[in-house]
A and B are shown apart, each in its own frame.
Chain A
Amino acid sequence: MKSITVGIVDYGVGNLNSVHHALRTLGFRSLIGSDPKTLDTADLLLLPGVGAFPTAMKALDRLHLTDYLRATARAGRPILGICLGMQLLADASTEHEHTIGLGLIPGQVRALSLAARHIGWNDIIPNCHDPLFHHAYHKQHCTVYFNHSFVLDTKREYCIFTAQASEPIVAVVRKDMTVGFQFHPEKSQDAGHRLLSDVIKGLYHA
């Protein structure tokens, strides 16, 4: 059976090797790159990220990846964003300044309103049914690791899971073949790895 190849988008931000190792552990092939020709060879693109939204968007622009990622999504190829990578999928963010995002998931990124940040392990709660996440629905608790201080506001129809902290937090979003995780599945032990595996396989076979 053909191995699924995940292209990790390298725009100079974040801990790419952790994602790379998690994917290998799960039996996927992975490549790290910023060249569209390289990324075109992957079955699915993964957009990781740690840091600030404006810096990340500037890096994507500098590497001519903004238009590439938009075109990739328009073509129906799967994209998975993690943490800041999920927030970059949104229309815009108010982090530091107003910055336009990739516009792949309708919504705005804003600072948490009731707490400065959301750090640690939290349960995710289903908001609507999506077959990509069938294992998570059958678990009594699906607890994953969050580390962020900005959140995505989106329409209910795109919100697959939430987490309850000082306010409800969008934990997983999906629009067509684009999925975002606000948490770090690669650092969420078995629960996160299972979600990561399910989503990659589900998007690939969709």
Chain B
Amino acid sequence: MLKKRIVGVITIKNGWAVQSFGYGRYLPLGRPETIATNLDRWGVDEVLVQCIDRYETGPDFALLESLCSQGLSTPLVYSGGILTTAHAVSAIQSGADRVCVDSLLHEAPSRVMDISAHLGAQGVIACLPLSIGEHGVMWLDHRMRINRPLDPVVMAALREGAISEALVIDWKSEGILNSFDGRLLLIEELAGIPIIAFGGLSKVDTMRSALSTPNVTAIAQGNFLNYREHAVQALRNTLAGSPIRIAHYAASPL
């Protein structure tokens, strides 16, 4: 049967991988290529590279080409500065297997549909940084630094399959141990939509709970996978019994 996935997230600012705390405070980690190579070697299910400062300059194709030249054997998802169909197609041609869109969902959802028509819905993920407050579920437009309700047009695209999955980010908890708000996975608007859960997911019980939620297809971790060697295999062993792949260790040469 189809396994639920563990996604390794690399957050990139000014070309460097950074440790991010709520997308507001950053500490440098090192070269993205090194971290991607480690995640690949440790057998993560997908690598998500999110470049958080590319709105003005467009996607970082040079980084994608550099990552691709590492010979990664793990699927690569790219996020950052994708504003047109040409951007998305070029990202795939530069080495990404899927793209994740964020600002474009706020500004021109119709363009996301065009990207989906070119790449296929399976190639497109919607990034939804969410929080639950006194006004209910709010969707962060991080570029404008405002919260707004979820857009019915975007939710319809997800529900009808024009976008394959929603990357649901508990952005307030991102980078903070054991802080993921599990209520985000149960909100009515997301019913039936495939979800990648991200942001403060570090506690085993919370991860198990997320993986047992029917429409959660993946959990994602950023900083927490960078603290020790073979972090992905250790996580898989910790989550044994969940519907995930068993730990993978690099094989001897073929």
CB within 8 A of B1: which of A17, A18, A165, A188? Answer: A165
Task: Give the CA-CA distance A164 to B1 in the complex, in Å.
Answer: 6
In the assembled complex, how far is the CB of residue B8 from the closest CB belonging to chain A, in whole angstroms?
13
> Does A118 sit at the interface, judged by CB under 8 A?
yes
Question: A25 to B218, alpha carbons, bound, how many Å?
Answer: 28
* B residues less than 8 Å from A186 (CB atoms): 73
Q: Knowing A51-B119, A116-B161, say if A17 contacts B2 (CB, 8 Å).
A: no
Quick one: CB contact mask for B56-98 with A, threshold 8 Å, 1 for yes? 0000000001001111111110000000000000001111111
Q: Can you name the residue of chain A whose Cβ is closest to the Cβ of B5?
A: A120
B201 within 8 A of A: no
- Rounded to whole Å, the gap between the CB of A4 and the closest CB of chain B is 14
Out of A52, A141, A145, A148, name the residue touching B75 (CB < 8 Å): A145
Across the interface, do A148 and B122 meet the contact criterion of CB distance under 8 Å?
Answer: yes
Q: A22-B71, A147-B123 are in contact. Are A190 and B251 (CB under 8 A)?
A: yes
B217 close to chain A: CB less than 8 A: yes
Q: A193 in the interface, Cβ–Cβ < 8 Å?
A: yes
Asked if A17 contacts B75 (CB within 8 A), the reply is no
Selected from B5, B98, B250, B254, the residue in CB contact (under 8 A) with A121 is: B5
Within 8 A of B (CB), among A114-166: 116-123, 141, 143, 145-149, 164-165
On whether the beta carbons of A17 and B245 are closer than 8 Å, the reply is no
Q: How far is the CA of A164 from the CA of B3 in the complex (A)?
A: 11
In this assembly, does A203 line the interface, its C-beta being within 8 Å of a C-beta of chain B?
no
Render B119-148 as a binary contact track against A, CB cut-off 8 A, 1 for contact: 111110000000000000000000000000
Q: Which residue of chain B has its CB nearest to the CB of A140?
A: B246
Interface size on A, residues (CB 8 A): 41
Kindly list chain A residues whose C-beta atoms are within 8 Å of the C-beta of B73.
Answer: 22, 25, 186-190, 192-193
Q: Does B45 contact A (CB under 8 A)?
A: yes
Nearest A residue (CB) for B162: A116
Contact B93 A16 (CB under 8 A): yes
Chain B residue nearest in CB terms to A150: B120
Q: How far is the CA of A17 from the CA of B121 in the complex (A)?
A: 22
B31 at the interface (CB under 8 A from A): no
> Which B residues are in CB contact (< 8 Å) with A59?
none
Query: Which residues 44-95 in A have Cβ within 8 Å of B in the complex?
Result: 50-52, 55
What are the residues of chain A within 8 A of B217 when measuring CB–CB? 119-120
Residue pair A18, B248 in contact (C-beta under 8 Å): no
A190 near B248 (CB under 8 angstroms)?
yes
Is B118 in the interface zone, CB < 8 Å from A? yes
B4: interface (CB < 8 Å): yes
Partner of B97, one of A117, A149, A184: A184
| B interface footprint on A157-196 (CB within 8 Å = 1, 0 otherwise) | 0000000110000000000000000001011111011100
Q: Point out residues on B near A: beta carbons under 8 Å.
A: 1-5, 40, 43, 45, 65, 68-76, 92-98, 117-123, 161, 164-165, 194, 217-218, 245-246, 248, 250-251, 254
Which 4 A/B pairs are nearest by Cβ-Cβ distance?
A116-B161, A21-B71, A190-B251, A187-B75
